[in-house]
Amino acid sequence: MIVGTAGHIDHGKTTLVRALTGVDTDRLPEEKRRGMTIDLGFAAMELPGVGQVGVVDVPGHERFVRNMVAGATGIDAVLLAVAADDGVMPQTVEHLDIVSLLGVTRGVVALTKCDVVDETLVEAARAEVRAALAGTALAAAPIVPVSGRTGAGLEALRDALARVLVEARQVKEEGYFRLPVDRVFTMPGFGVVVTGTVASGRIAADDQVRLLPAGKLARVRGVQVHGRSARSAGAASRCALNLAGVEASELHRGAMAVDPRLEHATYTVDARVTLSKHAPQPLGSHQGVRFHSGTAETRARIVWVGDAPQAGGEAAAQLRLEQSVSLLYGDRFILRSEDGRTTLAGGTALDCHAARRATRVAARLERLAHLGSERALDALLDGRGAAGWEVAELAERLALLPDRLAAILAGREDIVREDLGDGAWVARSRAIDAAAAQLLEALEKFLHEHPRMTAMPLATLHAAACPGLDARVFRLLVARLCAGGGAVQSAEGVRTADHTQRFTREDEALAARIESALDCAGGPPPKVEALARSVGIPAARLAKFVGELERAGRIAKLAPDVYVASKELAKWRGKALELLSARGRLALGEFRDAIGQGRGLALMALERFDREGFTRRAGEHRVAGRGAQVGEIRRG
């Protein structure tokens, strides 16, 4: 588990950590020279009933609050240091505000420097601290007088921390592995090393990690936990990873080493945001802020969903980030002023890959705010409708491992599940039923408006009813519609179960003229363009009409612009049968002479017979194909 320090500068945080752990967390030369913590420091200690506990020591100066936020994110409990000779100071209040906004609900107050004041001042400082904690999640936190210099009160402090951590213990190892990177360096003989506090999941040597936001994959050569080599590291461990396949120049504080199944960083986040009670002024929509989550920091703009809240209030908002950040559902964050001087708000990420649109549905975000519940799952399912989700993508959006999500979905009877080839897919049944009804409505409308069509082409139906739907899901909808008996699918497309081609009187008159022109009685049939002139209609209109006549079986297509009347083609098929019955084979010249047409037209007809399987090529001749029954040929 992880304890993070907090408190005003020079209130003895680093001294206290050194007294508790034996480690001086001020590692930088500048920190030694100035006697002031600038960056994050790390140590470990053993606590009774808890085991090994990591300690993150944070800077107290207002100029380094950004580093304090990086260290406070993901801690299990806070160790708030307040000097008995100073009492509550500005950074005491701001640090307390930050840990509260990050959702830290457990902690202990160390009333430091008790060796330099009398008991009266200790009690006065205790009362002041208790007043400052009032109304916060730490209102009942134990306050322990200590001295990091003399060691007075340290055992009582350890006991208090142990009790708090036992209460705060959480199981985080079931989730995806995630490590917010706070240091990157190269170690001679080993290569690139990143360090951080494991936020969730587990990692072991030879595992792969993805480095977000860049997306690059790397292999874990080795693992250290609290400075010692280990086979693996779990949640809340202070961890160092030796990585292969990446250069130090490609990494920085703010990157995240994650499970390879997590593929996305984000620029746009829908969230629940709580304003600080100490915010100096309202936070307006489209106002610029600094966004902090884990060790990442970037500029952002906040856009409220509805009215902006007052100090201490909360509301839904969208955060539009200047740089992409690795975030998961439920992650906490802090918003500070653009100049980095003031903590303004904190919040919880609800939709980490939100659409950047002007209007969002507050009710949906309210459902997502029920972290870990099926209301959040339902909000995402309902929001996607018939488009549904690939289970792996939905799992990432809910910060659940795919197997865990699959188990949850397996118990749901209102879910449609399908395998789309590259992964499982799910959607709400009612959304699928509604989309199928929409397809049927579009199909009925089209066939009513185009009664000569035998079916509606699939592409036309897709574009008319659900153009934004993935083609695989569209095919699934069509299959469900047909399986339910509402439609029939054929080579031409989809039709309603009761649809038949219908021609008006005018259509029938035109069809008769076309069939007459294509009966080949006076020689080869005219091509489409010549046919259009002969019947007196535009070629484009005729091309569409002859296609409908072909689907009705009244004419037959021999080539892209060559048609014959179906009854004429039937006669030619009979001639071919006679020749095959008599000789067992058919030559082009013989067939040409038998039908009384030119060589080109005869060849087109035979090629169509080949495509139908009625005949097949055998050298320079044709023989009977599978579509021509031998018995039928012999009977002549």
What is the percentage of the chain residues whose pLDDT exceeds 70? 92
Backbone angles phi, psi at 39, to 5 degrees: -115, 180
Please state, in angstroms and rounded to a whole number, the distance separating the CA atoms of residues 528 and 560: 9
Mean pLDDT confidence for 548-555:
86
Grade residue 67 by pLDDT with cuts at 50, 70 and 90. Answer: low
Average pLDDT over residues 267-273: 95
Q: Which residues contact 476 (CB under 8 A, 6 or more apart)?
A: 418, 420
- Shared fold status for 178-258 and 567-635: no
Superfamily of domain 178-258 in CATH is: Translation factors (2.40.30.10)
3-state secondary structure 535-573: HCCCHHHHHHHHHHHHHCCCEEEEECCEEEEHHHHHHHH
Of the candidates 369, 279, 272, the one whose C-alpha atom is nearest the C-alpha of residue 317 is 272
Name the strand (E) or helix (H) holding 302: strand 296-304
Asked if pLDDT for residue 25 goes beyond 80, the answer is: no
Instruction: Look at residue 33 in the predicted model and tell me its pLDDT.
Output: 52
Structure tokens at 132: 């400052």
pLDDT in tens, 580-610: 988 889 999 999 999 999 999 999 999 999 9
Global confidence as pTM: 0.77
Helix and strand counts by DSSP (H, E) for the chain: 20, 31
Q: Residues 163-183, buried b or exposed e (16+ Cβ, 10 A)? A: bbbeebeeebeebbbbbbbbb
Q: How does pLDDT run across 417-466, given as a tens digit for each residue?
A: 988 777 899 999 999 999 999 999 999 999 999 888 888 999 999 999 99
Closest to 385 (Cα-Cα) out of 441, 429, 336, 442: 429
List of residues 6+ apart from 350 with CB closer than 8 A: 269, 270, 271, 272, 316, 329, 365, 368, 369
Question: Helices 429-449 and 374-384 sit at what angle, rounded to 10 degrees?
Answer: 10
Residue whose C-alpha is closest to residue 394's, from 452, 351, 331:
351
What is the pLDDT confidence band of residue 633, given thresholds at 50, 70 and 90? very low
The predicted model gives 97-101 an average pLDDT of: 86
Tokens of 359: 């209007």
Report how far apart, in Å, the C-alpha atoms of 469 and of each of 329, 354, 441, 633 are.
25, 18, 17, 51
3-class secondary-structure state, position 64: helix
pLDDT value for 371:
84
Q: Is the alpha carbon torsion for 109, 44, 291, 337 positive or negative?
A: positive
Q: How high is the pLDDT of residue 290?
A: 94
pLDDT at 26: 65
pLDDT at position 17 over 50: yes
Distance, in Å, from the CA atom of 620 to the CA atom of 457, rounded to the nearest integer, reads 39
For the record, the structure tokens of 320 come out as 């539009």
> Looking at the predicted structure, is the pLDDT value of residue 348 above 80?
yes
State the Rg of the chain over Cα. Answer: 38
Binned at pLDDT 50, 70 and 90, residue 515 comes out as confident
Position 168 scores a pLDDT of 63
The closest alpha carbon to 300, from 271, 258, 277, 276, belongs to 271
Q: What mean pLDDT is reported for the chain?
A: 87
Print the SS3 string covering 436-466: HHHHHHHHHHHHHHCCCCCCECHHHHHHHHC
Domain ranges of the chain: 2-168, 178-258, 266-368, 567-635
Confidence of residue 64 (pLDDT cuts 50, 70, 90): very low
Tens of pLDDT, residue by residue over 209-227, are 999 999 999 999 999 998 8
First-to-last CA distance in the chain? 91
- Residue 601, helix vs strand vs coil: helix
Per-residue pLDDT, 274? 93
CATH topology of domain 567-635: Arc Repressor Mutant, subunit A (1.10.10)
Architecture label for domain 2-168: 3-Layer(aba) Sandwich (3.40)
Q: What is the pLDDT of residue 258?
A: 96
- pLDDT for residue 172 is more than 60: no
Distance separating alpha carbons of residues 317 and 309, to the nearest angstrom: 10
| Residues pairing with 579 in the sheet | none
Give yes or no for residue 631 having a pLDDT over 50. no
DSSP code per residue over 460-485: HHHHHH-TTS-HHHHHHHHHHHHHTT
What is the pLDDT, as a whole number, of residue 632? Answer: 44
Residue 482 Cα distances to 436, 490, 494, angstroms:
10, 11, 9
Sign of CA dihedral 394, 397, 402, 406: negative
CATH topology of domain 266-368: Elongation Factor Tu (Ef-tu); domain 3 (2.40.30)
Which pair of tokens denotes residue 256?
A: 């995240």
pLDDT grade for 547, boundaries at 50, 70 and 90 = confident
